[in-house]
Chains A and B, each alone.
Chain A
């Protein structure tokens, strides 16, 4: 069986200008989205809990509830990337950890307002000396405020003062605000946070007979992998690119190297860009997916290169463009088979998977398609252009010299 007739040469060259614009546009747009997304009504990159931290709540549901139900309810309530992790606890059944990337941050303006309300180092008319606070510190997740007073605090006064601040709401409960340490005059105030909102939304969707009135705990969590890991990934990719370039220059030819590296960067950046455009979350899994795409892309490009390298002496006399067309046509069956292998296995994860799994398979599918495309429309045109622009004179001169010598020798 044969997918494509043997010997048939398709013209891949005709549309190269169109695809050049597409590739260049995609890369540029992706870089722009990464750097300055969110402005000019463009989508912003959504970093997930892995990079950004988020809100975590632990809930013991009152009746049997499946992860899928919770995930669905969370999604419908505006928490599309909720992580739902069952907790195996012999005492309470149906315990789950829910993690969402949303946090209720307290920005500088609101912070100043809170500080003013709580008489932070202020000695004005409405702040008698015994009410002045020495420290006002909202937690990074915006769910708590730690306050320290110079004198013994009046909790009711704290509550009333905070009630005057717009945009924050105290969590209901008897001991809120609470005195943390009488010796230090330390007070903690718990605020209604994203976690509470999530719980309220779940109660609305799943019913009050399933969702308890209060979560076991609601907390802000820090990122698992900070910018450090992202930078490490980018740095190692950059180093890998240099080494790949050296290897290709050594094994093939200098003019092949930039094409491979550019198409590789194009695939990695383009995938991230498309993910941002689709409004998908970027997390640790995305990093893994991008690394996988890099591996796939470089392999694919090199295999196509290999055929071109082989065809150059075989089709001596043909133009470089013809060699490229012929090589790609010969490889077409293989290209389709290989890329469909990866896409097929990922398609299953995409269709049946949820949350991260879905995002992950989606990025791989995008990446593989881009990787296959870029071998043909990014790597080879760039190589051809370099060849034409910088190497063409050398090629013409090369064969001439030995021929003349030979002729002289005969004479």
Chain B
């Protein structure tokens, strides 16, 4: 509706400019350029391009003004520049003003839809959402235990003379080791390792040297028959792991929150809890934040064991009486299992399990059901079952729906993990058939890249799984050795929009690093402002009053020059808010400090100019000359003062974090706005005034 009106308004404006330019030869350039911009604006309005419409509209206006006979061309261009800034600033601020005034200051729906950014009052002024997460410390401890478990196996393999050197033992070695000794890392006890010898005669192999390696961190006890050793992570070490896990989780959440652009969010810890406070009131925004914060983002690359047909015998043994989860079926597939002696690809037929999702349950519930059943199976040592979500595609609409889960048999050892990734980036697919698809590009660290190259080289024509937070994202076949430390993750869904969203999310969480342990939300509250509503209100009213006094004083002190200064100062405030608004910034007390400072500087700027002009007038210059010289004399002080402040702003933004950065951004914006309003805006007004005066009139600056 509005755009139709605007479309005709601009078309009409274009026609007027064209006609006027045709009649008035001398001013044709300006009008016709304006007409071109006007036509573009009308087109933009037709296709609902809001910002192009604004830009071309302003250009059209500039062309129109350039053709008028007011003052000189330079002034007209400056005037248009100032007007354009005001219009842009107003548009940016309009929806925010409506929100802040509680709807009293109306903003048309059309603007609200197109201007998406808002200035949000920060936690201290307005309140927000408080999220409490609990770090699953048990998982971090289990992780550490698993590392001891690996070390112990390697050390034992050496002790039994099955392995030597620095490299990791192969599968065969472990197999041989298993005949001598049982090493168990129980799933239900996160800090224990049990070691039982098959033959009591081997007891001397578990000697002091072996025990010394682990004595610092593990407490151990030996059974009376000397065959079983129980190891347990010491409490001191457990506390260390706990503290480090919580500390790291806090750092990573801070980084994610920072990358989301929420500089004013606060993150703190409490025992095993992490508390995140986010300003604002927008529920959809909060949901996005929750998703990003709580994603563990643990990325692992694991090789598939396609040589073992694990589900084959199970499928054969199934009789109609066997209790199976609802929707479970066994499918067969042909899996690539490396190369034979001639370099030809070998394949093997294997069975996998598939669980269809019931229409009434979520895919997570289906996965839980599936996992429960799999846990009852007797999985070979050092193997685990991975799950991948599969989709049904509607042949008509090509819409995808989540259909169910399938299994892969994985080797438990993660070859490459997320901490060996140096960068992640969402990128569009280049291929012809999958235009509009997105994937995430990974860049490994040097070490990770080397491992990846070696692994891929040794497992050509085998499959490996990319696992994110215990779910398989994809299980591609390794075609060649992959050097250079690059890999990519393709995303499950094929809906481009979902893909882009997921890719962006994945990019952010991978780049900020994986959480050392999963976290679970434990509490969530809406909180009010920490500064106290009444105090903020009174303070703002007071500051408003104080500002008014200053403006009034300048008006008395410099008469009309003061009026110009007042307008310039108010515009500075207005522009600053508009720019901050377009950054989606949140307004906090430190932000207000930045504002107060730059308002002060803006006043300073205008006072300097007015004082100079007074000086020049006192020396008997004509009004025009006085303004001219006054501005150029004042300029050096203004520019030096602002540049030095700008320097500190830029450096604070560069090295500071969180609130310091927020303050620095406000400061930078404010300094630029202050120079603009002080030098450009007030000059436009001064020039208009003095030129209207004529040569003989007196300029009264009080």
Contacts and interface: CB of A to CB of B under 8 A. Distances in A.
Interface in A307-340: 307, 310, 333-334, 337-340
A88 B526 CA distance: 5
B641 interface: yes
Given A88-B527, A240-B652, A247-B647, A68 B600 contact: no
Given A1-B557, A6-B618, A236-B654, A299 B547 contact: no
Interface residues of B, number: 81
A59 to B, nearest CB: 13
A357 B601 CA distance: 22
Nearest to B657: A232
B637 A307 contact: yes
Contacts of B597: 292, 295-296, 342
Nearest to A294: B648
A123 interface: no
Given A85-B530, A303-B641, A349 B235 contact: no
B658 to A, nearest CB: 7
A344 B550 contact: yes
Contact of A239 (B267, B599, B655, B657): B655
B545 interface: yes
A85 B535 CA distance: 12
B539 A229 contact: no
B645 interface: yes
B659 A287 contact: yes
Contacts of B618: 6
Contacts of B307: none
A236 B529 contact: no
A355 B532 CA distance: 9
A284 B528 contact: no
A364 B589 contact: no
B634 to A, nearest CB: 9
Given A89-B525, A346-B596, A351 B542 contact: yes
Contacts of A298: 641, 644-645, 648
A119 interface: no
A345 B543 contact: yes
Nearest to B602: A341
B267 A224 contact: yes
B271 interface: yes
Contact of A85 (B127, B549, B637): B127
B275 interface: yes
Describe B's contact surface by its main secondary structure: helix
B124 A295 contact: no
Contacts of B556: 1
B536 interface: yes
Interface string B497-534: 00000000000000000000000000001111111111
B672 to A, nearest CB: 14
B569 to A, nearest CB: 9
B543 A223 contact: no
B527 A299 contact: no
A86 B652 contact: no
Nearest to B655: A236
A289 to B, nearest CB: 6
Contact of A236 (B130, B557, B656): B656
Contacts of B596: 292, 342, 345-346, 364
A80 interface: no
A233 B663 CA distance: 11
B546 A232 contact: no
| Interface residues on chain A, size class | 35 or more
B270 interface: yes
A333 B610 CA distance: 11
A240 B648 contact: yes
Contacts of A83: 530
A135 B275 CA distance: 27
A221 B268 contact: yes
B386 interface: no
Interface in B114-152: 124, 127, 130
A225 B660 CA distance: 11
Interface string A343-354: 011111101111
A135 B235 contact: yes
A243 B538 contact: no
A352 B538 contact: yes
Contact of B590 (A67, A228, A288, A300): A288
B135 to A, nearest CB: 13
A251 interface: yes
Contacts of B636: 306, 310
A248 B644 contact: yes
B275 A348 contact: no
Contacts of B648: 237, 240, 243-244, 291, 294-295, 298
B552 to A, nearest CB: 11
Nearest to A58: B525
Contact of A243 (B539, B549, B599, B647): B647
Given A299-B641, A352-B539, A360 B593 contact: yes
B554 interface: yes
Nearest to B277: A224
B603 A341 contact: yes
A176 interface: no
A294 B660 CA distance: 13
B127, B239, B651, most chain A CB atoms within 10 A: B651
B546 A344 contact: yes
A137 interface: yes
Interface string B614-648: 00001000000000000001001100111111011
Given A292-B593, A345-B599, A287 B637 contact: no
A405 B4 CA distance: 80
A198 B510 CA distance: 43
Given A87-B526, A289-B593, A292-B597, A68 B644 contact: no
B603 A251 contact: no
A134 interface: yes
B667 interface: yes
Contacts of B266: 224
B611 interface: yes
Nearest to B281: A88
B649 interface: yes
A65 interface: no
A354 B271 contact: no
Contact of B640 (A251, A295, A345, A349): A251
A223 B250 CA distance: 11
B572 to A, nearest CB: 12
Contacts of A368: 600
A243 B543 CA distance: 33
Contacts of A299: 601, 604, 641-642, 644-645
A282 B557 CA distance: 39
Interface in B470-510: none
A89 B530 contact: no
A229 B597 CA distance: 22
Contacts of A248: 640, 644
A194 interface: no
A287 B654 CA distance: 16
A355 B467 CA distance: 50
* Complex A-B, nearest 4 residue pairs according to Cβ-Cβ distance, in ascending order: A348-B542, A288-B590, A86-B528, A352-B538
25 contacts: A2-B702, A68-B532, A84-B532, A85-B529, A87-B130, A88-B528, A229-B658, A229-B660, A232-B657, A236-B654, A288-B593, A291-B663, A299-B641, A303-B641, A306-B640, A333-B607, A334-B604, A340-B550, A341-B603, A342-B596, A342-B597, A351-B542, A352-B541, A354-B531, A360-B589
Given A67-B528, A148-B235, A235-B655, 10 more contacts: A1-B558, A66-B534, A139-B271, A229-B658, A239-B655, A285-B590, A298-B645, A342-B599, A345-B596, A349-B543
Interface of A: 1-3, 6, 53, 56, 66-68, 71, 83-89, 97, 134-135, 137, 139, 148, 219-225, 228-229, 232-233, 235-237, 239-240, 243-244, 247-248, 251-252, 260, 284-285, 287-289, 291-292, 294-296, 298-300, 302-303, 305-307, 310, 333-334, 337-342, 344-349, 351-357, 360-361, 364, 368
